[in-house]
Structure 1
Amino acid sequence: MAESPTAGQPESVLDTIVQTSANSSLDPPTEAPGDFVSHYRITILSLVIALVGLVGNSIVLWLLGFRTRRSPFSVYILNLAAADALLLGSYFGLRTWRIVGDFDFVILGLLELCFLGLPYCVGLSLLAAISTECCLCVLFPLWYRSHRPKHTSAAVCAILWALHGLLWGVIVALYFLNKDHFYDLYFVLDLVQFSWFLLLTGVLGVSSLTLVLRVQCSSQRRRPPRLYLLVLLTVLVFLLCGLPWGIIHAVWSFSGFCIMPSELSSLLACVNSSANPFIYFFLGSQWRRRGREPLRVVLQRALGEEQPKGEPKLLTFLV
């Protein structure tokens, strides 16, 4: 592990990440045999999970982008699948490059910050937007149905991608155009990003708790809609597997203290981004039916676009 920066050793955040990348590369002479084997297994497992999740999210992208009719909620899921696919694809490519390629640690560290940080932040923002919309729909159904603009989902997704893309673009531009003051400005940008992270996490927690209470109350009268369960399971997986990655990065950036091995946090992040397609298809499947159903039908059912008679459609409040 790299040494933590002290007051007499003013190391930058990026330099610390670069040192960590150098020490965490799979170089047998610098690691004990047991540590090398453990590191190798976790990395390979992460790559396998990333590859499986990339395939699953690509299927969701294909179905929602070209095979189904767009709905407000499916627009969010489409963008969430795009963010997960970008994170998994970037992780697979950069990690493979780190293992087998000859690279510059500074450039690789910068690429990992951008191509992994961008989709992670966008995914968190989309989850917060999804849970907030469902929460508003549950609490104020009539008001929400009459006052919600038609293209809200597309506008929110476009704004989130543009804001986070601008932030990470500024970080890259500052590094190449103004290296002398890059580290001071990067600390300010990192502080802004951490504040946004705390805000979104709070919004996600409050809206998810509201949905849990709503599902608990409605389950006493009738079966809760699949859409509620889909949102709650997706948020739960993120809180268990995706949230630690952001917390670890924040703690490391401001204190230089590593509370969890980077390989383990990366593994959890890959699990989080890979689990969503399986949640969709699991909730959309009807195990009592015999025979196979098209994945498009299963996905539509999971999104609440196809429900049995007598069961309320949540999406009717979103159109």
Structure 2
Amino acid sequence: MNESNKTLSSDDAVELLILPLLTFVIALWGLIGNTVVIWLLGFRLRRNSFSVYILNLAVSDFLFLSNLILMFIVTILVLFNPIFTFALQCFSATFLVLYILSLSILSAISTERCLSVLCPIWYRCHRPRNLSVVTCVLLWALSLFLVILEEIYCTLIVHLDNDGWCQVTEFVIASWLIFLFVTLFGSSFTLLVKMCGSQRKKLTRLFVTVVLSVLVFFLCGLPLGIYHLLLSRIQEHSNKVASAWSILLSCINSSSNPIIYFLVGSFRHRLGRRNLKVFFQRALEDTPEVEESGGSLSQETMEMYQSSVAS
């Protein structure tokens, strides 16, 4: 019994100290990276259909990490005064919905990229001009609606011993999560098979950016969604450990996207502070970098590069 208590205390120390502190540090770095992305795509670079999605994804990740930091601070305050418990419940509900928002935008990016490869003629000729903006507005509105439902039925009314609507809300959120998981996996797998199976098509930087972002999500972001779906089936102590690890991995997922943009954009090019804007612009290019006949950059890429350096 004494050895088991010591083991339990050791696990609690890792859970309550090391993992949250590591999550807090990663979240701070993620805030800096997403702030740079928002500044570049929002004020410095010309936006296109996919950069609109990337900008909204950076904003959602920024809010997700900010909410995570606030949860960390409020959790510490709860240890000294239980009056902050209600605020912690509110931040926890918002935390989950912001995670769903990031997943929704990433699914929209992968789906539209898949359509552009499977139906290139339709995509170029019949795609609505403001499809990206309309899709992002609808996803933000849906997420706000889920936040309101979660806050009302699972935070306020639950204190009145009427949790029936909370169960309905949890079911809606879980169903939406499953739909997003299936959509993201199906579109990403189809895109990967289509692009890698074609010997004539060369991979673009945008394709690499999307694939890496989706891959990081499946490795780091997916556990939080699985944990939420299986929450009622896990024992109490396992819940705490699984929650700490899933939150840490989701923090890594939201903080990794700026690093992916920088690495993809700076591949085969020298690093430099003046080229930061160019690197992010190159990460969203949808044209092959090298032509088949020659070994030089394409004309469109060279024009974008020169205009960015001149500005």
Q: TM-score band, normalised by the shorter chain?
A: 0.7 to 0.9
Deviations 1:4-62, CA, capped at 9 Å, x for gaps: xxxxxxxxxxxxxxxxxxxxxxxxxxx73563256311111110000000110011011
Task: Please say if 1:52 is aligned against 2:32.
Answer: no
Letter in 2 for 1:97: V
* Correspondent of 2:40 among 50, 59, 63: 63
CA contact (8 A) 1:301 1:307 kept: no
SS at match of 1:224: coil
CA contact (8 A) 2:74 2:88 kept: no
Q: Do the aligned partners of residues 215 and 34 (structure 1) sit closer, same or farther apart at CA in structure 2, a change above 3 Å counting?
A: same
CA contact (8 A) 2:203 2:288 kept: no
* Correspondent of 2:49 among 69, 72, 88: 72
Letter in 2 for 1:115: T
Task: Please say if 1:183 is aligned against 2:163.
Answer: yes
Deviations 1:211-261, CA, capped at 9 Å, x for gaps: 11123124x445410111111110111111111101101111x43544652
Q: Do the aligned partners of residues 178 and 114 (structure 1) sit closer, same or farther apart at CA in structure 2, a change above 3 Å counting?
A: closer
- Higher RCO (Cα < 8 Å, 6 or more apart): 1
Q: Do the aligned partners of residues 312 and 112 (structure 1) sit closer, same or farther apart at CA in structure 2, a change above 3 Å counting?
A: farther
Distance 1:57 1:134 in 2: 22
Distance 2:202 2:158 in 1: 58
Q: Do the aligned partners of residues 32 and 177 (structure 1) sit closer, same or farther apart at CA in structure 2, a change above 3 Å counting?
A: closer
SS at match of 1:104: helix
For the aligned residue pairs, the C-alpha RMSD in angstroms reads: 2.5
Distance 1:34 1:106 in 2: 23
Identity %: 41
1:113 to partner: Cα distance: 2.7
Q: Do the aligned partners of residues 98 and 181 (structure 1) sit closer, same or farther apart at CA in structure 2, a change above 3 Å counting?
A: closer
* Correspondent of 1:266 among 247, 258, 264: 247
1:164 to partner: Cα distance: 1.4
Please show how residues 12-91 of structure 1 align to structure 2 within 5 Å: 32=9, 35-37=12-14, 39-91=16-68
Letter in 1 for 2:111: T
Letter in 2 for 1:249: H
Distance 1:237 1:156 in 2: 23
Please show how residues 298-317 of structure 1 align to structure 2 within 5 Å: 298-304=279-285, 308=289, 310=291
Match of 1:148 in 2: 127
Match of 1:115 in 2: 94
CA contact (8 A) 1:233 1:279 kept: yes
Match of 1:213 in 2: 193
CA contact (8 A) 1:225 1:312 kept: no
Unmatched segments (≥5 aa) in structure 1: 1-30, 314-319
SS at match of 1:192: helix
CA contact (8 A) 2:64 2:95 kept: yes
TM-score by length of 2: 0.83
Match of 1:289 in 2: 270
Distance 1:35 1:113 in 2: 20
TM-score by length of 1: 0.81
Structure with bigger helix share is 2
